[in-house]
Amino acid sequence: MQVTITYNDDTAFTIEEIVKQATYNYGKKAEVVVMPDSVKPHDLIYFALQQIITHNQLSMMYEDKHTYQKSLQELRNETLFKLDEILSQVIIDNESKVA
């Protein structure tokens, strides 16, 4: 018998954490799909950014609290650089579709 459970988890930091908990609760055959709260663009962007930076940010928080702010700024800069690249590609793609 297949059972589908849908819920919002506001406490987990990572997808791996959610999968681990579901496997613990429902067994190794549990199929876990983690998605943003909605398909609204801002929710999708938030979810993507969360997945991109959370592992690194948590590692920085626990590894060396003295350099956390500097490391966080570097992570922000790297992430903004990647976002700028993606935004540029979207703009180029849109322009090529019009041409």
pTM of the complete model beyond 0.75: yes
**Phi and psi at residue 40, to the nearest 5°:** -65, 140
More confident of the two residues 65 and 96: 96
Cα angle, residue 2 at apex, residues 11 and 27 outer, rounded to 5°:
50
Q: Mean pLDDT throughout 17-28?
A: 92
Buried b (16+ CB within 10 A) or exposed e, 12-25: eeebeebbeebeee
> What is the per-residue pLDDT for 73?
97
Q: What is the CA 99 to chain-centroid distance, rounded? A: 34
d(CA 27, CA 45): 31
